[in-house]
Amino acid sequence: MLLRGIRGYSKLKQMWEEIKIPVPWGHIAGKWWGPQDRRPILVLHGWQDNCGSFDRLIPLLKPELGYLAIDFPGHGLSSKLPLGVSYYWSDYIVFLRRVVQYFNWPKVSLLGHSISGTIAYNYATLYPKAVDFLIAIEGLRPLTDLLNITELGVNVDRFIKYDHLLSLDQEGPSYPYNELERRLHADSAKSISLETCKYVLERNIARSTTKPDEFYFTRDLRLKLLPFLEYAGDVTKMTDKFTCPTLLCLGTVVTKKFELLTQTHEFYNVLKKINPKFEIHTVEGTHHVHLNNPEPVAELINPFIERYDVEDWSI
């Protein structure tokens, strides 16, 4: 049974239904767009974003299909992980698997942005017969080498500090709304335009109880730190398992903050040799091209879905 609720102060036109998926530490929140009588495409956001980052893209996609865009734990309206627990990249594969098993889907179709393109790739190599197709936007690679080991000691101390602050159960610093937009724009290396910040902020902030005209960030403080551990070993070891049809969309603006996720062209060449249904396209825009410039992204995704929408998705 889906637990449903509506965001109280939303000013955006609603074309979706808010859902909650129960998990042992609370719930995973999400937006279900379109019909619910058939298996949807599962939509996954980038690190420190939330499912609101797809609010401009999903309405442009094939309307006869459903799209379930979730907030990962600690993001958006999903529950934070328990105190004392840190975030690990491999956990995100577990979170994804929990959603699939909750709905008892025999297969899943995935659309992921940034780190979620990478999470989806790794899921597809672990469960190659359980993925119809994969659409990745600005991120597709193994879960390796995503952590600067020289910063590990500093980040451990920061984790303990943030864990303590969360235990106090207090509001964080509050700001006027336009200041939050400016901060999000700057923190994304200006990848999220000021005009589209509202789509991410909608699920990342709450109104201050002491300063009614100001807001504070509600996402987990621990998300300021990249997860501690990744996979190790030969990055090409699992590529022979990667056989599902895959579309990769890359923005034209390369930013140092995100290049580790996107500038892996040697790896893409390996995938091309192994998977004849792997295709790459470039779209004018930044790392958040699907949010700032969704029309050309949708023009690539819709025909891709038409080619590979061959399964009976009735549920």
pLDDT at 151: 67
Residues of the chain below pLDDT 50: 1-12, 235
d(CA 225, CA 155): 7
Task: Match 């390996």 to its residue by tokens.
Answer: 270
C-alpha closest to that of 41 among 26, 24, 61, 60: 61
**What confidence tens digit (pLDDT) does each residue in 111-146 have?**
999 999 999 998 998 899 999 999 999 999 887 766
Output the pLDDT for position 7. 38
Q: Are 85 and 160 in contact (CB under 8 A)?
A: no
Residue 141 CA to chain centroid, in angstroms? 15
CA angle at residue 113 from 96 to 5, to 5 degrees? 60
Beta strand 108-113 with 215-217 is unpaired
Residue 163 covered by a domain = no
| Residue 162 lies inside a defined structural domain of this protein | no
Q: How many domains does the chain have?
A: 1
pLDDT at 12: 44
Structure token pair of residue 138 = 């600005």
User: Tell me, what's the pLDDT at 312?
Assistant: 67
pLDDT of residue 67: 98
Q: What is the CATH number of the domain that holds 260?
A: 3.40.50.1820
In a domain, 49, yes or no: yes
**Confidence (pLDDT) at 15:** 86
Q: What is the pLDDT of residue 190?
A: 95
Active site (annotated) includes residue 78: no
Residue 174 falls inside a structural domain: no
Q: Which of 79, 114, 116, 191 is catalytic?
A: 114
Task: Flag whether 304 is in a domain.
Answer: yes
Residue 230 neighbours by CB distance under 10 Å: 15
Nearest CA to 288 among 184, 216, 171, 156?
184
Evaluate the CA torsion angle 239, 242, 245, 249 in order and state its sign.
negative
Q: Does residue 247 belong to any structural domain of this protein?
A: yes
CA distance linking residue 12 with residue 8, whole number of Å? 11
Q: Is residue 94 part of a domain?
A: yes
Does residue 206 lie within any of the structural domains?
no
Which tokens in the block code for residue 183?
């901060």
Domain encompassing residue 42:
16-141+233-309
- Please state, in angstroms and rounded to a whole number, the distance separating the CA atoms of residues 126 and 120: 10
Looking at residue 145, its pLDDT comes to: 60
User: Contact at 8 Å (CB) between 128 and 244?
Assistant: yes
